[in-house]
Amino acid sequence: MKIFIMPPNSLILFDLVERFGHEPLSLMKALRDRVTSNEIEAPPLNVTLDDVKTGLKYAGIEIPSGIRGRLAIYGPLIDQAEAAIFMEDAPYSFGCVGCQRTNELAKLLVRKRKVPILSLDYPANEDDAKDMVVRVKEFLEGLK
Amino acid sequence: MDSNIETRLIFIAPTSDLTPDRIARFIHNLGNEISVKETCYGVVLQGPKDAVKRTLDEVRKMDPNRIYSKIRAFPMGDLRRCRAHHGSRPGFAQLEKEWKDLCLVEQGLICVEKGEKPPTPKKRQKIPVNDLRKLIDEVSP
């Protein structure tokens, strides 16, 4: 099954989802096509006209353009998602306020789709990590 | 670039005895015809998707709970990212934090392997107001 992960470029979640036999829907895969396309000079900083149109499907015109641009990439992933795993409580160094707001809107869009969701926190110690991995495994096995 | 080409990062957990050099040599010896580049946290692989997958499966066998991987958007040595060409490296703070956490995730995977029931983690609570006041008084008396 296709699992949407949040943060969408998380190493830990990408690895765990793949390890337990599912396909992670990650930002890296979505950016790959843009990065290797000759049409965009400095991806992911630039967007194309089509991206702006795609973004409008997921975020209204009053939403800041940076967030709409990001959602043009996240949105199609959310549409494909059959389940989702969110890791909350990330350190501030993970991204700017624009990234944070985009993540919040993306989570809302996933919740609106009514797919199974597992919400976790970044582990702070061994007990947290054990609990986290076991919950991820049980969640992913329950989807089969 | 060919859509069949995949770039993958392989991370070695901080608790592992493996080195990027050893993994790179091991991959060269496999002869899967993919490119390998050593990095500070592990290696970067690039090649046809099935060859990269086969290589990753072999590398994982070296230390299953301490080797992690994810794909990468930018190709290996891309001028916009490669440090040798003064490329920017946004997102490194996240990679660094998650790399440090891999030794915790490893404990989780061991727990799953053994089929143990995980201990109930303590619920994180907000800092009490009095403690917060003490902290503020220390900084600005």
Given the structure tokens 């007990």, which residue do they identify? A127
What's the token pair of residue B3? 């859509």
In a domain, B29, yes or no: yes
Question: What confidence tens digit (pLDDT) does each residue in B12-65 have?
Answer: 999 999 999 999 999 999 988 899 999 888 999 999 999 999 999 999 999 999
In Å, how far is B131's CA from the nearest CA of chain A?
21
Structural domain including A57 reads 2-143
Distance of alpha carbon A81 from alpha carbon B9, whole angstroms: 24
Contact B52, B46 (CB under 8 A): yes
Using beta carbons and an 8 Å cutoff, which residues of A are at the interface with B?
A: 7, 9-12, 14-16, 18, 26-29, 31-36, 42, 44, 89-91, 93-95, 121-134, 137
Give the pTM: 0.89
Cβ contacts of A26 on chain B, cutoff 8 Å: 70-71
What's the domain count of chain A?
1
Distance of alpha carbon A40 from alpha carbon B52, whole angstroms: 27
In a domain, B120, yes or no: no
Contact A105, A59 (CB under 8 A): yes
In Å, how far is A116's CA from the nearest CA of chain B?
22
For the complex shown, is ipTM > 0.95? no
Stretch (H or E) spanning A62: none
What's the domain count of chain B?
1
In a domain, B129, yes or no: no
**What is the number of CB-based contacts under 8 A between chain A and chain B?**
109
Q: Say yes or no: B113 contacts chain A, CB-CB below 8 A.
A: no
Nearest by CB to residue B70, choosing from A28, A34, A36, is A28
- Write the DSSP string, A87-104: EE---GGG--HHHHHHHH
Q: Say yes or no: B105 contacts chain A, CB-CB below 8 A.
A: yes
The reply to whether residue B98 touches residue A128, judged by beta carbons under 8 angstroms, is no
CATH of the domain at B94: 3.30.70
Stretch (H or E) spanning A23: strand A23-25
Question: What confidence tens digit (pLDDT) does each residue in A1-47 have?
Answer: 899 999 888 999 999 999 999 999 988 888 887 888 766 666 556 67
Q: What average pLDDT does range A83-98 have in this prediction?
A: 86
Amino acid A69 reads: G
- Within chain A, residue ranges assigned H as helices are 11-19, 27-36, 49-58, 65-80, 97-112, 126-143
CATH of the domain at A117: 3.40.50
Structural domain including B34 reads 5-114
In Å, how far is A3's CA from the nearest CA of chain B?
14
Residue B11, helix vs strand vs coil:
strand
Provide the 8-state DSSP code for B84.
G
Question: What confidence tens digit (pLDDT) does each residue in B73-128 have?
Answer: 888 888 777 777 776 666 678 888 899 999 999 999 999 999 888 888 888 788 89
In a domain, B135, yes or no: no
What's the token pair of residue B20? 């990027």
Nearest CA in chain B to A137: B112
- Residue B10: other Cβ atoms inside 10 A: 24
Give chain B's mean pLDDT: 88
- Residue A62: other Cβ atoms inside 10 A: 6
